[in-house]
C-alpha cells in the first residue's frame, strides 16, 4: 500500500515537473530562436549585398566592353570615312584584355564569397540547432531519463495509478528519437560498468564490473548528454 501511495505522488510530481519544464522549454526556445533568426538575417543580408555587387560589376564589365568596341569603330570611321561598308571589328587591344581579366577575376572572387556565405549560413544553422536541442534536453533531462523506468514498472504492475502518467511522455520519447539521440542502456539491464557512459550510485564500482541500469542515459553521437545511472543491485523502485 505504501508503494502505491509513493508511486501516486511520484506521478503527480512528474506531471507538475513536466508542465514546468514545458514552460521553460517555450521560454528557452523563444530566446534561442531569436538568436538564430538574428544570425540568419545577418548572413542573408551579406549574401544579398554580395549578389548585388556581383550583378553590378558584371553589368559594368559588359558596358565597358561595349564602350571599347564602340570607340574602336568610331576611330576607324574617322580615319576611313569612305570605307564604312568595309569596316570590321579590330582585335581587342591589350588594355581591353587586361580590363576583361581584371573584371573576370573580381567576378570569380565575388562568386566564391557568395558560396562561402551560403556554406557559413548552413553551418551556423546546424550549430545553433544543435545548441538549442542540447539546451532543451538539459531542461527536460529528468523526464527523458525517468520515463523508461516508470514505463517499465507500469509494465510489470499495470494496477498502479501511475499508469495514467505514461501517455504524457510519449511525445518526449518521439522528440528524442527525431533528434537522433541514442539511449544508453535499458531499464534493469545488466551491463559491464563503463565510467564514460554510466554514473554509479557508489564510488567503489570498478570498470568492467557487472551493474544494473536503474535510469537510462542519452548521447548525441560521441557526446554523452546524460550518463545512465547504475548500481550493483537491482531495486525495482522509483528513486534518484
What backbone phi and psi angles, to 5 degrees, belong to 2?
Answer: -65, -40
Report the pLDDT value the prediction gives residue 227, as an integer from 0 to 100: 97
Taking only the tens place, the pLDDT of each residue in 167-185 is 877 888 889 999 999 999 9
What is residue 171's predicted lDDT score, i.e. its pLDDT? 86
pLDDT at residue 7 in the model = 46
CA 198 – CA 207 distance, rounded (Å) = 10
Query: What are the residue boundaries of the structural domains of the chain, listed by start?
Result: 32-138
Q: What is the pLDDT of residues 77-111, one digit of tens each?
A: 555 544 544 545 556 677 778 888 888 888 888 88
Helix (H), strand (E) at residue 50: helix 2-79
What is the rounded CA–CA span in Å between residue 189 and residue 185? 7
Residue 121: exposure state from Cβ atoms within 10 A (0-12, 13-18, ≥19): middle
- pTM recorded for the entire structure: 0.55
Place of cell 522549454: 25
Please tell me whether residue 207 adopts helix, strand or coil conformation: coil
Among 183, 128, 144, 151, which residue's Cα sits nearest to residue 21?
A: 144
Q: What is the pLDDT of residue 66?
A: 63
Instruction: Give pLDDT, residue 189.
Output: 94
Please list the ranges in the chain whose pLDDT falls under 70: 1-37, 39-40, 42-44, 46-54, 56-92, 235-240
168 contacts 15 by C-beta, under 8 angstroms: yes
Amino acid at each position: 500500500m505504501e508503494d502505491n501511495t509513493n508511486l501516486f505522488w511520484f506521478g503527480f510530481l512528474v506531471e507538475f515537473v513536466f508542465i514546468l519544464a514545458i514552460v521553460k522549454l517555450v521560454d528557452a526556445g523563444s530566446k534561442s530562436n531569436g538568436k538564430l533568426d538574428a544570425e540568419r538575417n545577418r548572413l542573408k543580408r551579406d549574401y544579398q549585398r554580395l549578389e548585388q555587387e556581383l550583378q553590378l560589376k558584371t553589368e559594368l564589365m559588359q558596358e565597358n566592353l561595349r564602350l571599347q568596341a564602340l570607340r574602336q569603330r568610331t576611330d576607324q570611321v574617322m580615319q576611313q570615312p569612305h570605307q564604312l561598308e568595309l569596316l570590321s571589328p579590330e582585335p581587342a587591344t591589350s588594355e581591353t584584355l587586361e580590363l576583361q581579366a581584371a573584371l573576370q577575376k573580381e567576378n570569380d572572387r565575388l562568386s566564391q564569397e557568395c558560396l562561402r556565405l551560403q556554406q557559413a549560413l548552413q553551418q551556423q544553422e546546424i550549430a545553433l540547432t544543435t545548441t538549442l536541442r542540447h539546451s532543451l534536453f538539459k531542461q527536460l533531462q529528468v523526464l527523458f531519463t525517468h520515463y523508461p523506468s516508470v514505463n517499465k514498472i507500469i509494465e510489470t504492475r499495470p494496477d498502479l495509478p501511475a499508469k495514467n502518467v505514461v501517455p504524457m511522455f510519449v511525445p518526449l520519447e518521439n522528440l528524442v528519437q527525431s533528434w537522433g539521440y541514442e539511449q544508453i542502456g535499458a531499464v534493469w539491464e545488466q551491463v559491464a560498468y563503463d565510467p564514460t557512459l554510466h554514473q554509479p550510485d557508489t564510488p567503489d564500482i570498478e570498470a568492467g564490473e557487472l551493474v544494473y541500469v536503474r535510469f537510462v542515459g542519452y548521447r548525441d553521437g560521441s557526446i554523452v548528454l546524460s550518463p545512465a545511472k547504475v548500481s550493483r543491485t537491482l531495486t525495482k523502485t522509483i528513486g534518484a
